[in-house]
């Protein structure tokens, strides 16, 4: 019997393939169990990761029940290989979404089977289920291919060099291959020209070359090169080739705790991630990617007539502002975690910290990439004027709380960053600005943080005014250079965070078992990005040996392919949407700083 996933695969048992227009997850049993088509945020055609195979799956595996299974990426690429090793045969399945000639090329799923040694019988079942499995998909044989159709949905074609037959509106096949023999399967738009004979080998070679040429531009030469490069490749895979925006993650609905209801859609772009994204790309030498991302950001700040617009927390990759949230009640959820949501109501929230992330990105790009234009600076001054007017208001905070609004420390901190970077930029570029007003506001925010967020009785900073809790986002205080990494009050806060939020190097965003500050019942896992911020804070505080140990532990918590989801459970298993860009961005930052500290370099690269 072939590998038939009776239960959903764990989140960390997946690799990701993509063409910078869409992405698919392939589990270590050889099944594509998540794939949205034709865009990252389009409805899924395979969604068994959030339900059962009836929600759509592409199974392809050998009849080798006792085989050892493993997954690897072909070196320096996003081309994935799943391998089976047994006494009777060694088999590999290579999966990719080929990089097309144009940004308008529709995604094509390419699956290639090869028997390395021995002989094996394979089982295939391709069950396309359109529109998050809400539509009725009909499958029909068309000569040697299968066409999948549904009302008001784009039809798809499955092409194979093995005989296909129909079974319950799915394409199925059984075939046997001997050593050295291959089989090939393509799934894409019905009129995709790459269905032509012999196109597959050319697509594979071109795709391998694209990824290797791209990562070859990285200037990172440190001791964690493999993990840093994998993080960079994951970031590039999550980047829209057409728009330049970067997804927070490739998936929707994966739970932050087993059976919980924190199940969000992350297939969008958060302004929050702006400065982290630009920093990581710039630090590795990918200046064009940072510039492209900033060009996308500029499109969110001003309209086609050059008029300023309201800045939202998040956007669709094409820039759309409204992302209504819908519950897919027909899906059982990953591990039974419901509801499964698509869309994200956070787009309507007020989150003041986004001004700081935006301005930090603008500042970095001006320092290392494209200089800001005259119109761009005019828009920037309007943004900073808005910060001057709103910095002392309540908001939902960086974690997009769905409970009460508060005066959050992180929001204050990033408003200070917005003023600080704008003043620095104007001074260095001799740009016109109301320096007196901006500096006065910057000083007011600085004083507010020290006066109202430092709790003398507890001996550490607190998450929000009137509260006593800690927050993982505090770890950004020295990273954005608000406070010295060795300031006694900061070190006291870092020690308090270690006692309250850190568990074996894994850092929780906050503790809410009793307060439910985020407006939702239950708990969540440790936040992976905070864990890497913690490492960098330790290194900057001079606790380099401890930082090194914690970093090595976190690297072991990656999945076998070097990928990270949003969170860890108590066993360091992955939870939440995957792979998460912010986690990989934080890994790159921590690796670069720690590597230089361990190498004894005094002039550590600084933004």
Rounded Cα distance, 213 and 287, in Å: 15
Number of Cβ within a 10 Å radius of residue 378: 15
Which tokens sit at 327?
């519950």
The pLDDT confidence band at residue 404, using thresholds 50, 70 and 90, is confident
Rounded Cα distance, 242 and 262, in Å: 31
Domain span at residue 153 reads: 14-189
HSE-up of 513 (CA within 13 Å, CB side)? Answer: 4
233 and 128 co-located in one domain: no
369 and 467 co-located in one domain: yes
227 and 185 co-located in one domain: no
Nearest to 17 by CA among 87, 86, 74, 101: 74
Q: What is the pLDDT of residue 1?
A: 32
Q: Is residue 305 predicted with pLDDT exceeding 60?
A: no
Contact 177, 120 (CB under 8 A): yes
54 and 134 co-located in one domain: yes
Rounded Cα distance, 569 and 587, in Å: 18
Nearest to 55 by CA among 155, 5, 123, 128: 128
- Say if 324 falls within a structural domain: yes
Q: Is residue 286 predicted with pLDDT exceeding 50?
A: yes
HSE-up of 365 (CA within 13 Å, CB side)? Answer: 27
What's the average model confidence in pLDDT over 252-261?
94
Q: Is residue 327 predicted with pLDDT exceeding 70?
A: yes
Q: What is the pLDDT of residue 298?
A: 86
HSE-up of 549 (CA within 13 Å, CB side)? Answer: 5
Q: What is the pLDDT of residue 517?
A: 56
Rounded Cα distance, 478 and 557, in Å: 25
Q: Is residue 296 predicted with pLDDT exceeding 80?
A: yes
277 and 394 co-located in one domain: yes
Q: Residue 589: which CATH number?
A: 1.50.10.10
**Nearest 5 degrees, angle CA 385-CA 410-CA 362?**
50
Task: Say what percent of the chain tops pLDDT 70.
Answer: 94
- Say if 559 falls within a structural domain: yes
| Those residues with Cβ within 8 angstroms of residue 561's Cβ, 6 or more apart along the chain or in another chain | 15, 71, 72, 73, 80, 230
Which DSSP category does 318 fall into?
Answer: T
Q: Is residue 514 predicted with pLDDT exceeding 50?
A: no
- Say if 606 falls within a structural domain: no
Contact 185, 176 (CB under 8 A): no
What's the average model confidence in pLDDT over 84-90?
97
* Cα distances (Å, whole numbers) of residue 164 to 112, 156, 160, 161, 195: 16, 15, 7, 9, 16
Q: Is residue 304 predicted with pLDDT exceeding 90?
A: no
CA dihedral 287, 289, 291, 292 (to 10 degrees): 160
Summarised one tens digit per residue, pLDDT across range 16-53 is 999 999 999 999 999 999 999 999 999 999 999 999 99
Least confident of 60-74, 178-192, 387-401, 563-577: 387-401
- Say if 4 falls within a structural domain: no
373 and 422 co-located in one domain: yes
Q: Map tokens 């934080």 to a residue.
A: 586
Q: Residue 34: which CATH number?
A: 2.70.98.50
Q: Is residue 371 predicted with pLDDT exceeding 50?
A: yes
Contact 234, 581 (CB under 8 A): yes
226 and 184 co-located in one domain: no
The pLDDT confidence band at residue 2, using thresholds 50, 70 and 90, is very low
Q: What is the pLDDT of residue 3?
A: 41
- Say if 455 falls within a structural domain: yes
| Residue that terminates a domain, selected from 164, 189, 214 | 189
40 and 85 co-located in one domain: yes
Q: Is residue 434 predicted with pLDDT exceeding 70?
A: yes
182 and 235 co-located in one domain: no
* Cα distances (Å, whole numbers) of residue 511 to 463, 469, 525, 566, 568: 11, 8, 10, 17, 15
Number of Cβ within a 10 Å radius of residue 172: 17
Rounded Cα distance, 477 and 467, in Å: 18
What's the average model confidence in pLDDT over 565-579?
97
Rounded Cα distance, 355 and 262, in Å: 26
Mean pLDDT across the chain, nearest whole number? 93
The pLDDT confidence band at residue 515, using thresholds 50, 70 and 90, is very low
Read off the pTM: 0.95
Contact 535, 551 (CB under 8 A): yes
What's the average model confidence in pLDDT over 507-525?
70
432 burial (CB, 10 Å; 0-12 / 13-18 / 19+) is exposed
Nearest to 523 by CA among 293, 316, 255, 323: 255
Q: What is the pLDDT of residue 484?
A: 98
The pLDDT confidence band at residue 522, using thresholds 50, 70 and 90, is low
Helices (H) and strands (E) in the chain, counts: 14, 26
Number of Cβ within a 10 Å radius of residue 116: 14
What's the average model confidence in pLDDT over 511-527?
67
- Say if 200 falls within a structural domain: no
Domain count, the chain: 2
- Say if 211 falls within a structural domain: no
119 and 255 co-located in one domain: no
- Say if 135 falls within a structural domain: yes
Task: Say what percent of the chain tops pLDDT 90.
Answer: 86
Number of Cβ within a 10 Å radius of residue 393: 12
33 and 177 co-located in one domain: yes
Summarised one tens digit per residue, pLDDT across range 537-569 is 999 999 999 999 999 999 999 999 999 999 999
Angle between helices 581-598 and 274-284 (to 10 degrees): 50
| Residue that terminates a domain, selected from 189, 211, 240 | 189
Nearest to 20 by CA among 207, 200, 156, 198: 207
Nearest to 171 by CA among 151, 186, 152: 186
Three-state SS for 212?
helix
405 and 513 co-located in one domain: yes
Which DSSP category does 153 fall into?
Answer: S
């Amino acid at each position: 019997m072939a590998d038939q996933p009776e239960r959903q695969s764990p989140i960390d048992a997946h690799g990701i393939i993509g063409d910078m227009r869409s992405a698919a997850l392939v589990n270590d049993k050889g099944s594509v169990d998540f794939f949205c088509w034709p865009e990252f945020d389009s409805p899924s055609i395979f969604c068994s990761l959030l339900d059962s195979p009836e929600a759509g799956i592409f199974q392809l595996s050998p009849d080798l029940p006792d085989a050892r299974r493993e997954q690897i990426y072909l070196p320096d690429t996003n081309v994935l290989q799943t391998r089976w090793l047994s006494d009777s045969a060694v088999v590999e399945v290579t999966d990719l979404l080929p990089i097309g000639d144009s940004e308008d090329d529709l995604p094509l799923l390419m699956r290639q089977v090869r028997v390395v040694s021995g002989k094996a019988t394979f089982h295939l079942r391709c069950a396309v289920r359109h529109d998050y499995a809400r539509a009725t998909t009909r499958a029909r044989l068309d000569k040697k291919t299968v066409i999948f159709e549904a009302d008001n949905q784009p039809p798809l074609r499955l092409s194979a060099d093995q005989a296909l037959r129909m079974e319950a509106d799915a394409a199925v096949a059984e075939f046997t291959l001997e050593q050295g023999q291959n089989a090939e399967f393509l799934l894409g738009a019905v009129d995709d020209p790459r269905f032509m004979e012999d196109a597959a080998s050319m697509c594979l070679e071109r795709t391998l070359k694209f990824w290797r040429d791209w990562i070859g531009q990285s200037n990172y030469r440190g001791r964690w090169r493999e993990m840093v490069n994998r993080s960079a490749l994951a970031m590039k895979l999550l980047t829209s080739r057409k728009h330049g925006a970067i997804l927070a993650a490739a998936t929707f609905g994966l739970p932050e705790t087993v059976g919980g209801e924190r199940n969000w859609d992350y297939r969008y772009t958060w302004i929050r991630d702006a400065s982290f994204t630009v920093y990581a790309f710039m630090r590795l030498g990918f200046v064009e990617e940072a510039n492209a991302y900033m060009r996308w950001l500029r499109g969110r700040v001003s309209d086609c007539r050059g008029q300023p617009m309201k800045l939202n927390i998040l956007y669709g990759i094409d820039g759309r502002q409204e992302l209504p949230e819908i519950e897919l009640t027909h899906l059982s959820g990953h591990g039974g975690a419901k509801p499964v949501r698509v869309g994200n109501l956070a787009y309507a929230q007020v989150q003041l910290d986004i001004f700081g992330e935006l301005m930090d990105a603008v500042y970095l790009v001006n320092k290392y990439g494209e200089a800001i234009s005259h119109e761009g600076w005019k828009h920037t001054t309007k943004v900073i004027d808005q910060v001057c007017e709103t910095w002392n208001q309540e908001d939902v905070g960086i974690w997009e709380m769905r409970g009460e609004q508060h005066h959050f420390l992180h929001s204050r901190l990033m408003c200070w960053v917005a003023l600080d970077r704008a003043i620095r930029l104007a001074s260095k570029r001799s740009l016109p600005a109301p320096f007196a007003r901006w500096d006065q506001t910057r000083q007011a925010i600085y004083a507010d943080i020290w006066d109202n967020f430092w709790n003398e009785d507890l001996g550490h900073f607190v998450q929000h005014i009137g509260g006593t809790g800690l927050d993982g986002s505090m770890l950004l205080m020295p990273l954005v250079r608000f406070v010295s990494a060795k300031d006694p009050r900061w070190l006291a806060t870092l020690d308090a965070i270690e006692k309250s939020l850190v568990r074996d190097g894994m850092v929780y965003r906050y503790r809410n078992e009793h307060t439910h500050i985020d407006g939702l019942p239950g708990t969540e896992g440790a936040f992976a990005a905070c864990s890497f911020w913690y490492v960098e804070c330790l290194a900057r505080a001079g606790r380099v040996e401890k930082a090194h140990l914690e970093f090595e532990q976190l690297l072991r918590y990656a999945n076998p392919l070097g990928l990270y989801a949003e969170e860890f459970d108590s066993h360091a298993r992955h939870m939440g949407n995957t792979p998460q860009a912010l986690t990989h961005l934080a890994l790159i930052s921590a690796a670069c700083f720690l590597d230089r500290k361990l190498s004894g370099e005094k002039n550590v690269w600084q933004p």
